[in-house]
Chains A and B, each alone.
Chain A
Amino acid sequence: MRLLAVELDRYRSRRAVAMLVLVATLLTVLLAATALWDTRPVSWAERARAEAQLQQALDDPQLQEDVDDCRDNPEAFFGPGTTSEQCADFLVPRLENFVPRATLDLGKVVHGRGTALIVIVTSLLVIAGATFVGADFTTGSMSNQLLFVPRRTTVWAAKGLAVLLSGLVVAAVLVVGFWAVLSLVADARGISTPDRVLWDVRWTALRGIVIAACGGLGGYAVTVVLRRTVGTVALLFAYVVGGEALVFALPFQRAGEWSLANNALAWIHDGARVFDDNLPCRPGLAGCQRSYELSLGHGAAYLGGVLLLALLVSWLVFSRRDVA
């Protein structure tokens, strides 16, 4: 426990880590601020203008003709399965079509800025985990530490645990803070959010916190092997630029199941739809459908497997390799 406390102290005392956490905080604030600004309540003037535009649209005789035509043959308008009752819903404009901004909808934020937040926090925690141990190697202080605590597995585990716990705290503060602010503002604006959406927000946030903290642990594990922060960052960059493109260029069906990004999205969003040109055409509402669903379980198994493999290699290398 003493060693873990020291490693936690070492982690939070690193200037590079502090800078990364600061950047993550600023970006979180920025995301929340833009989400709130883009959904700020419309002014009376904007509402009046929107109502006038709505009335003008409703008065258009072409609208009624379109609705009548749709009711005669709804499937020709909106594809198989459409009923005549849906025509008015689909064609008749509403006030929100004319106001300049949408209201704050937490369900939409989850799949937009909420996901962006998780990606940002995860990326920064990966770099933080990498720089935490990378600096130990580049400054040579790792050998000094091993002269005081020679049990390498203990040192490796304490550092990894410190990265994981610190990552959990940082990610939890940022993600929970982000959603807390948005929820409070939604309440203040009198916007009610369905329980289903609130559950989605909570679970997505929780899974986001887990993936961000585990990302930090992954960055740590890879850097123990490479011994250079820049090596881990370069590897990540190479994967983001080339690896994902390579996966999608493979001439195999469902190659996207091996994409890190797809599996991360499947984990964050409780499943993700992956488009694949190698799949046979399947008729759907919008024509030919070439996609499949990647489940939460698949994402969890893939990401967990990759992390465990990285940790195993990291531990083996750290246990056996000479330390300069």
Chain B
Amino acid sequence: MSVTADATAVIETAGLRKVYRTRAGRRVVAVDDLDLVVPAGGVHGFLGPNGSGKTTTIRMLLGLARANRGEMRLFGETVPARLPAVMDRVGAVVEEPKFVPTFSGRKNLQLLARPLGIPSTAVDAALEQVGLDTRDRDRYGGYSLGMRQRLAIAATLLKQPELLILDEPTNGLDPAGIRDIRDMIRGLGESGVTVLLSSHILAEVQQVCHSVSIIGNGHLLASGPVADLVGDNTLSVVRVYVADPDAATGILEAAGYHVARAGDHLDVEGAQHPEDITRALADRGHYVRALMPVRGDLESVFLQLTRDVTLGGASGPLPGDLDDTEDTDDGDHHGEDRR
């Protein structure tokens, strides 16, 4: 499969594959045949369990890792070949912030900015934007995790990017910091910047993102606007309050519903029409005290889609176990493991 340049897409991948080799010689498939499209503008969530290939995909897009197979485009340009032509338009934080601990926050940003001719006033502005302007001359090694995260975000803002790729940007931030960053991401998205937000905090993604892509086992599982995904994938669950939950359970199961007892109420799946539940119970002399549809959320969609994926990365090696010498042999995949 090949990528065809989509004028409205900022990121496109097709058939993307990455195989790592562990130090023990074991091959681990991190990304497998991934087709991803991120439309221009707005905030796009990038979700997946630990080890599902999110960070590896981001690293390949940014030229930090080589793909074994597949095609990638940023702003319609094939990468990594044309990466230098588009990189000025991309800001990114990959995994945890990475700066020189003995340099100050300001010095770290200056060293990144100067090769591109970015003026020091831009450094000042970026530091102020993330609230680090009063601690900019402190050593980075003495920064808290939240401050490091802010500095990483400040670095991405130096280039005034059209595409911002953020990998867990609120890690280590306090609640006020999380809100600030969330507002900033939302504001950037509304101002026309495309933001690819990789996050584990699904509620945060649902609040901020216009669209999402969910991956598991290195594959794309679902992609589209958040509202559509939640609507398409939410189970029809109706919460029912009755005087005798045990008797009501028997009646509804006999009527073909899947019923889960939860405290003083029942969660009934498979009810497309709630009035059918009312009727079935009333016909047997049980009257509903309250009935409400349960709204789906991104978390339930995510868990549903990734149900078969081992959460927590237990099936894959830790990053430290990986030898980043990539395997370019695509012919034989026997004996491969998945992360």
> Are B98 and A140 within 8 A (Cβ)?
yes
> Are A2 and B324 within 8 A (Cβ)?
no
Given A6-B114, A13-B107, A321-B325, A150 contacting B101 (CB threshold 8 A): no
How long is the Cα–Cα vector from A137 to B66 in the complex, in angstroms?
17
Query: What range describes how many residues of A lie at the interface?
Result: 20 to 34
How long is the Cα–Cα vector from A3 to B84 in the complex, in angstroms?
14
What are the residues of chain A within 8 A of B159 when measuring CB–CB? 148
Contact of B98 among A3, A5, A139 (CB under 8 A): A139
What are the residues of chain B within 8 A of A14 when measuring CB–CB? 100, 102
> Interface code B86-115, partner A: CB below 8 Å = 1, 0 otherwise?
010011101010111111000110011111
How long is the Cα–Cα vector from A151 to B116 in the complex, in angstroms?
12
> Are B102 and A324 within 8 A (Cβ)?
no
Kindly state whether residue B62 has any CB partner on chain A within 8 Å: yes
Count of B residues near A, CB < 8 Å?
A: 36
> Are A141 and B99 within 8 A (Cβ)?
yes
Given A150-B84, A322-B59, A144 contacting B99 (CB threshold 8 A): yes
Within 8 A of A (CB), among B52-91: 59, 62-66, 80, 83-84, 87, 90-91
Kindly state whether residue B168 has any CB partner on chain A within 8 Å: no
How long is the Cα–Cα vector from A324 to B102 in the complex, in angstroms?
20
What are the residues of chain A within 8 A of B94 when measuring CB–CB? 143, 147
How long is the Cα–Cα vector from A14 to B63 in the complex, in angstroms?
26
How long is the Cα–Cα vector from A147 to B114 in the complex, in angstroms?
13
Supplied contacts A10-B111, A143-B98, 19 more A-B pairs, CB within 8 Å: A6-B114, A6-B115, A9-B111, A9-B114, A139-B101, A141-B108, A143-B64, A144-B98, A146-B62, A147-B62, A147-B90, A148-B112, A149-B115, A150-B62, A321-B324, A322-B65, A322-B66, A322-B325, A323-B324
| Chain A interfacial positions (CB closer than 8 Å to B) | 2-3, 5-6, 9-10, 13-15, 135-136, 139-141, 143-151, 320-324
Q: List 25 A-B contacts (CB under 8 A).
A: A2-B115, A2-B117, A6-B115, A10-B100, A13-B107, A14-B100, A141-B98, A141-B108, A143-B59, A144-B99, A144-B155, A145-B112, A146-B62, A146-B63, A147-B91, A148-B87, A148-B115, A321-B325, A322-B64, A322-B66, A322-B326, A323-B64, A324-B64, A324-B319, A324-B324
